Chain A
């Protein structure tokens, strides 16, 4: 269950990677920072304004989605003639920048926003489970469904897909690829923030959690081949379960101390297998 819970968060982060990559060809290494911003900003809003939980969380997500849009407009769009590789490096720079600013203006301690609905464990099939874990899983599933419905049934969602399939042809029917790129960055930021908002009460958060979150979300998306949101979802859950199994076995190389290394090993394997394919599919931003 712990695996599914943390896997859900990786899935949300992976969704962000997938959305941006499929629409623009860019791998956004600032994706993990959206998770950090979600957790930190929700903590600050809840701690200092006394807003009720739901509006505070929605406000947080809106703020982070705006950060995503600003990141695109200032860092990516203004470098429009740069190659995809340079744009990816720009996102790495942006993540360092966001993390640095967060560490300067906010506390460097770990903070914990309140649970959504108390911290009394629920008994479920003989196991105890935190209600927040249910919030995390439920939110991720709901977000997945909303995204899928958006991409499948709305004109805008279809336009995003059209842009992912063939950017030149999308231009010919009147779709502005740059507007679609802006939307994909905002969407990815919103999904990352959602992950940060729901996970922070359970795991606590700090200005620096984005690195690991980004890494694991990247692995989740890579398992899914950056293809579809659903594939990223499956990838995220897979990483989460493998990690928690390692912690459960807790022997030799499967020690819980190496928990975070597992995602890296999976990443290495994926890169070995897929690097040729990804390079072949490289598209211009």
Chain B
């Protein structure tokens, strides 16, 4: 269970998060809804340790995440797919996935010095790789290709696949469908539902709030660095303010 308690984040004098509290129960899909600049991405950045907290606390199960940099939170089970994918463009698909398992490999400090192929033979890493190739057969086909030469959708799959290589307990997804064709957006959302079915916990930011609420169990609405509303997906769907502000003219 991910628990954020009164998290405060400030960039210089500008406060981006004002005492945000939320809970993501194990096995849930929770979505964050809000306009650009509402603090959704900042919240994910704070959870993964990319930006430091000014106040408050963040816990994942029994581990305290607040105060840890991102390379430490990965080891505790936070898998983060940031906006813009951030894959290693001039490395191959396989190398990107290998880097995804770095948190596992580096548990033993001598292992990174070995041949990368050996690292992939360890049980955990091997089964993660099989799972990623099973979810995204196209990555298996293109494993020797430069990641930067993949299409936008394939790069998104690679970014998610790379995060899965670290065996995360919770996956933080920031606009995974940004810039993708509508049919790919559906594929990605279907995939997120499938990941949950396999036991992952997911915290999702998605521009298309209606689509996100369809696969999510619960949602939080953010405005100017605060959480202003929370509820089950059905409740938020039915809420008039939410429908007007974020769901456009979509049918209930």
* A positions within 8 Å CB-CB of B: 153-156, 158-159, 161-162, 165-166, 168-177
Question: What's the Cα separation between A158 and B96 when bound, in Å?
Answer: 9
Q: Is the interface of A mostly helix, strand, loop or mixed?
A: helix
Within 8 A of A (CB), among B86-100: 86-91, 95, 98-100
Q: Is B82 an interface residue (CB 8 A)?
A: yes
Q: Is the interface of B mostly helix, strand, loop or mixed?
A: helix
Within 8 A of A (CB), among B137-168: 162-163, 165-166
Residues of the B chain whose Cβ atoms lie less than 8 Å from the Cβ of A165: 88-91
By the criterion CB–CB under 8 Å, are B112 and A155 in contact?
A: yes
Residue of B nearest to A165 (CB): B88
By the criterion CB–CB under 8 Å, are A155 and B111 in contact?
A: yes
Residues of the B chain whose Cβ atoms lie less than 8 Å from the Cβ of A155: 98, 102, 105-106, 111-114, 116, 119
Question: What's the Cα separation between A155 and B86 when bound, in Å?
Answer: 19
Residues of the B chain whose Cβ atoms lie less than 8 Å from the Cβ of A176: 69, 71
Given A173-B102, A173-B166, A175-B102, A158:B75 Cβ within 8 A: no
Question: What's the Cα separation between A167 and B70 when bound, in Å?
Answer: 11
Question: What's the Cα separation between A244 and B88 when bound, in Å?
Answer: 41
Question: What's the Cα separation between A154 and B103 when bound, in Å?
Answer: 15
A-B contacts, 22 of them at CB < 8 A, read A153-B116, A153-B117, A155-B102, A156-B112, A158-B98, A158-B116, A159-B112, A162-B95, A166-B88, A166-B89, A169-B82, A171-B69, A171-B70, A172-B80, A172-B163, A173-B71, A173-B165, A174-B71, A174-B74, A174-B102, A175-B99, A175-B106
Question: Which residue of the partner chain, among A156, A161, A172, A177, contacts B82 with CB atoms under 8 Å?
Answer: A172
Residues of the B chain whose Cβ atoms lie less than 8 Å from the Cβ of A162: 88, 91, 95, 99
Question: Which residue of the partner chain, among B49, B69, B103, B112, contacts A173 with CB atoms under 8 Å?
Answer: B103
Q: Interface residues of B toward A: which range?
A: 35 or more
Central interface residue in A162, A172, A177, by most chain B CB within 10 Å: A172
Question: Which residue of the partner chain, among A154, A161, A171, A172, contacts B91 with CB atoms under 8 Å?
Answer: A161
By the criterion CB–CB under 8 Å, are A158 and B113 in contact?
A: no
Question: What's the Cα separation between A161 and B96 when bound, in Å?
Answer: 11
Question: Which residue of the partner chain, among B86, B112, B114, B115, contacts A172 with CB atoms under 8 Å?
Answer: B86
By the criterion CB–CB under 8 Å, are A158 and B95 in contact?
A: yes
* 0/1 string, B62-80, CB within 8 A of A gives 1: 0000000111001100001
Given A158-B98, A162-B91, A174:B114 Cβ within 8 A: no
Q: Is B31 an interface residue (CB 8 A)?
A: no
Q: Is B195 an interface residue (CB 8 A)?
A: no
Question: Which residue of the partner chain, among B86, B91, B163, B166, contacts A158 with CB atoms under 8 Å?
Answer: B91
Q: Kindly list the 10 A-B residue pairs having the minimum CB-CB distance in the complex, ordered from nearest.
A: A174-B103, A169-B86, A156-B112, A171-B70, A174-B74, A155-B112, A174-B102, A176-B71, A165-B88, A171-B71
Given A158-B95, A158-B99, A174-B166, A169:B116 Cβ within 8 A: no
Q: Tell me the minimal C-beta distance from B43 to chain A in angstroms.
A: 16
Residues of the A chain whose Cβ atoms lie less than 8 Å from the Cβ of B106: 155, 174-175
Residues of the A chain whose Cβ atoms lie less than 8 Å from the Cβ of B105: 155
Question: What's the Cα separation between A159 and B166 when bound, in Å?
Answer: 15
Q: Tell me the minimal C-beta distance from A181 to chain B in angstroms.
A: 13
Q: Is B48 an interface residue (CB 8 A)?
A: yes
Known pairs A165-B89, A174-B75 / 18 extra A-B pairs, C-beta < 8 Å: A154-B112, A154-B113, A155-B98, A155-B102, A155-B105, A155-B106, A156-B112, A158-B91, A159-B99, A162-B88, A166-B89, A168-B82, A168-B86, A170-B99, A171-B70, A172-B70, A175-B99, A177-B71
